[in-house]
A and B are shown apart, each in its own frame.
Chain A
Amino acid sequence: MDSPPTVPFASWGWKTQQEADGALEQLLARFGDRMVRIAEDTLGEELDARIARIQMHPNEAGVDPFGFDPTVARYALAVAAFLHRFYFRSQVFGAENIPSGRALVIANHSGQIPMDGLLIGASLMLDAEPPRFARSMVERWSAELPFVSVLFPRCGQVVGSPDNARRLLENDETLVVFPEGARGISKTFDKRYQLERFGLGFMRLALETQTPIVPVGVVGGEEQLVSVANLESVGRVFGMPSFPVIPQLFMGMPFPLPTRYRIHFGEPLRFQGDPDDDDTVVQQKVDAVMDAIRGLLAQGLARRRAIFW
């Protein structure tokens, strides 16, 4: 087996395949390398080259302080690229709207599982120029799950807290936020492409750090896993934020349908004001973002001829 091409950030002190100790780790590293190679060959993407171009902010020890590890993230990017290009065949519009420097990417949330986050991340890496590595905020309980608690930080996911978000934005990073949260992702099919209530935290953060907001309308997510009901009381029993009833799971399709995603990046919005203003004042600004996303969604839905192609 030929040695892998130059692994980006190999000098960072993270493990490369040769150094990986333990048979299991070596196996995983080899498998991951193979995966990256296959993804590059079949999709015609230069994944490693794009990862090498992203802006990093290492600490004194040469490590990302939030635990991001490009040598692990490239495996995740290979998977995301496969889903983005091959499975969901996403179309990306307006990727040139991403401003340089810090940015808050605000999108509608849909589809029971957070595929939209993954695909927005993939389009920022693969379609935006220069490639932007997007951080997203994950649920706190992910830090309690074995393996997930390692994988998420290594791929640049950060436990959601205003402190972390502020710190990342001050480092001029790009942050993907779904202000609808669980309310949005667990919508039933009759509410598709309607926005749930937005939290206000992201706007206060944007005002405080003077961050431009990029509204994003994601079309195609609502049809991947059609939910006909949300049994919240059952979900509460299992400690889950929602309990969607998804007929296709019982019809032998325990995976999201290959709908075609259309990701519309809007013009960046810049807001001025006091981050500690009253909720009503901040709400007005949030409404402006919601209107922008509604516009992008309407535009995307009008342009869409078919759900699956």
Chain B
Amino acid sequence: MERDASDPPPAKGRRASARRKSRATVPPPPPAPTPSSASEPPASRRPKARARPAAARVEDVESRDGAVLITGICGRLGRLLTRVLHRTDQVVGIDRREFHGRPKDVIHHQIDLRRKKTRDVFRQGGIRAVVHLGIMHDLRASSKAHHAWNVVAFQKLLDALIQYDVPKLVVLSSANVYGPSPDNPQFLTEESPLLGSQHFSAIRDLVEVDMLAQSFFWRHPDTETVVLRPCHILGGVQNAPSNYLRLERPLTLMGFDPMVQAIHERDVVRAIGLALEPGVRGIFNLKGPGEVPMSRVFRILGKRPQAVPRTLMKPVLERLWRLRMTSFPTPELDHIRYVCMVDDTRAREVLGFTPRYGLEDTIRAVETEA
């Protein structure tokens, strides 16, 4: 935290109150927009096609004006993205959590996204892009908290984006917004309906975030909005698919072996980097190296899953979930039962994204330490 204080003075040490965790309290609506201290309008963004930031050349640092604001920077993906981006761009982070191991040149604001302070970050100007990773997905939390944290906070972020004319927004959604279903075509395109919350109402707010980003895309053409919908992200991340594959003896549903897709966390980070390029906009499905039956994933990991009939699995898992003995809620069984795979043609052609990590590397990534 003292690191915060030693930061260059953008937020002028008003952060003390922000440290108070304001979990459920939604702050009052922001006051009338102060006539934005428009000292440096972010229009200084130069629309030139240049090499990807991972090229990490020193000249790039000067040529890219403006900072990249990352919400939820302290998550696994946020930190990975920071590590790649901060070499070429000024990175500003917002997260309620403390940023351990923060690179010295990264400015971190330990605040709640919904607070007025967020606007102060924008008001200082010089933000050329926002990467929204600050999405909470904790199924033990109440749906009210989910709504407040995901939907309300995102709306406030969008308001700030409009007010301060930020030219780029990248939202990391997920292919799970389509939802696994027996009716799914083998490959879902970006136009497929978002039915993820049909049988899994706890992810309503995540679908809503995706929809909000989509409507923002249409209503505010001045901002280049990119929505990324990756399939299961594997790696040191704490998400359901990675946690599932890390289990000692994973359970599977007897008689089901759906085709699954997975993507390496660093490939996702690379895709976000590509999405930050000027001129890129739209919705992109992301997938890793090919799709394989789930049994093959276990074979690569050397695990012997235990098959359980669904009629037994469902009530037992429900009971275990209620007793807080498992982190997998019952509706997630659909993911190991039905297909939910995406067609990434658009990402390949428009975004220029092809996964770097092969199948083995992608799947073995769950064994890496976070």
Contacts and interface: CB of A to CB of B under 8 A. Distances in A.
A41 B187 CA distance: 40
A277 interface: no
A61 B289 contact: yes
Given A59-B290, A146-B310, A163-B187, A153 B259 contact: yes
B217 interface: no
B186 A146 contact: no
Interface stretch (A62-70, A100-108, A218-226): A62-70
B334 to A, nearest CB: 10
A197 interface: no
Which bracket fits the contact residues of B? 20 to 34
Interface stretch (A79-87, A137-145, A208-216, A251-259): A137-145
B186 A158 contact: yes
A53 interface: no
Contacts of B187: 65, 163, 167
A144 B290 contact: no
Interface residues of A, number: 31
B292 interface: yes
B296 interface: yes
Interface in A49-82: 59-63, 65-67, 69
Interface string B171-209: 000000000001111110100000000000000000000
A161 B359 contact: no
Interface string B302-330: 00100001100000000000000000000
A69 B257 CA distance: 13
A164 interface: yes
Contact of B182 (A140, A146, A150, A164): A140
B296 to A, nearest CB: 7
A159 B291 contact: no
Contact of B304 (A21, A59, A144): A21
A148 B182 CA distance: 13
Nearest to B182: A143
B255 interface: yes
Q: Give the most central of B256, B258, B296, B310: most A CB within 10 Å.
A: B256
A149 B293 contact: no
Contact of A61 (B185, B253, B258, B290): B290
A144 B182 contact: yes
Given A61-B359, A146-B255, A153-B259, A66 B304 contact: no
A150 to B, nearest CB: 5
A153 to B, nearest CB: 7
Nearest to B289: A60
A90 B186 CA distance: 33
A147 interface: yes
B158 to A, nearest CB: 32
A141 B304 contact: no
Contacts of B338: 143
A140 B182 CA distance: 6
Nearest to A162: B185
Contact of B255 (A22, A66, A150): A150
Contacts of B186: 65-66, 158-159, 163-164, 167
Contact of B256 (A15, A60, A61, A149): A149
B257 A150 contact: yes
A13 interface: yes
Contacts of B310: 146
A140 B289 CA distance: 27
Given A21-B304, A150-B257, A63 B182 contact: no
Contacts of B185: 159, 161, 163-164, 167
A163 B187 CA distance: 8
A14 B300 CA distance: 11
A23 to B, nearest CB: 12
Contacts of B290: 59-63, 65
Given A59-B291, A149-B257, A159-B182, 8 more contacts: A21-B304, A22-B304, A60-B359, A66-B186, A69-B293, A146-B255, A163-B185, A163-B186
Interface of B: 182-187, 189, 253-259, 289-293, 296, 299, 304, 309-310, 337-339, 359
18 contacts: A15-B299, A61-B289, A61-B359, A63-B292, A65-B187, A65-B291, A66-B186, A67-B293, A69-B293, A141-B182, A145-B255, A147-B255, A148-B255, A149-B255, A149-B256, A159-B184, A161-B185, A163-B186
